[in-house]
């Protein structure tokens, strides 16, 4: 999934559980893994390269390509955050910070992957990455971006509708 989808879904999940803010943020974080179970599309991470000597068979190069990836993923997340905040102010005024932190919690697992690749010696991050890889869909839609993007838009809309109806 792209961060747009994860951030909108995280914010919507947090709003569903808004009466219990700590639970809301935990559920927003967990929504990431539920979504990763679904086959989906990813855009290419330019700084990722294969390296069979590493536990997960790849690494991130922290150079110019990484900066491009950071800009692209930042824009991706920022758009999801902006849509989340806009929609929440219409349907859930007064929940700005919960929406903000819910969107962040929904995207956080992917950000933690970057920390794993930067600080590979961390056992905690290793186990987190292991879990993230295990729950990730084995089938992806990377070769079918139109279908993959459509699914993610549909999922984002479904989460927003669920928040409005259940919230």
User: How does DSSP assign 99-115, residue by residue?
Assistant: HHHHHHHHHHHHHHHHH
Q: What's the sign of the alpha-carbon dihedral 74, 75, 77, 82?
A: positive
Q: What is the pTM of this model?
A: 0.93
Which residue in this structure is represented by tokens 């700005």? 96
Quote the distance between the C-alpha of residue 77 and its chain's center: 8
- pLDDT score of 1: 87
- Could you list the mean pLDDT of each consecutive 10-residue stretch along the chain, which spans 167 residues? 96 98 98 95 90 84 93 97 97 97 98 85 88 92 91 94 92
Q: Which of 15, 31, 27 is nearest to 155 (CA)?
A: 31
Q: For residue 87, count other CB atoms closer than 10 A to its CB.
A: 19
- pLDDT score of 68: 96
- pLDDT score of 54: 82
- pLDDT score of 115: 87
The tokens of 132 are what?
Answer: 């993230």
Strands (E), the chain: 48-50, 58-60
CA distance 98 to 104: 10
Task: Return the H-helix or E-strand segment holding 84.
Answer: helix 64-91
- pLDDT score of 146: 92
- Would you list the domain boundaries of the chain? 3-156
């Amino acid at each position: 999934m792209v961060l747009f989808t994860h951030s909108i879904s995280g914010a919507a999940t947090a709003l569903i559980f808004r009466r219990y803010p700590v639970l809301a943020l935990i559920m927003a974080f967990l929504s990431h893994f539920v979504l990763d179970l679904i086959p989906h599309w990813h855009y290419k991470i330019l700084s990722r390269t294969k390296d069979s000597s590493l536990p997960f068979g790849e690494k991130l190069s922290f150079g110019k390509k990484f900066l491009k990836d950071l800009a692209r993923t930042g824009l991706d997340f920022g758009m999801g955050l902006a849509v989340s905040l806009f929609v929440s102010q219409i349907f859930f005024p007064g929940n700005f910070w919960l929406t903000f932190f819910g969107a962040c919690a929904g995207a956080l697992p992917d950000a933690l992957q970057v920390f794993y690749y930067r600080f590979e010696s961390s056992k905690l991050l290793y186990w987190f990455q292991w879990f993230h890889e295990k729950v990730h869909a084995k089938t992806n839609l990377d070769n079918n971006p139109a279908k993959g993007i459509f699914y993610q838009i549909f999922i984002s809309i479904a989460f927003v509708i669920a928040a409005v109806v259940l919230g």
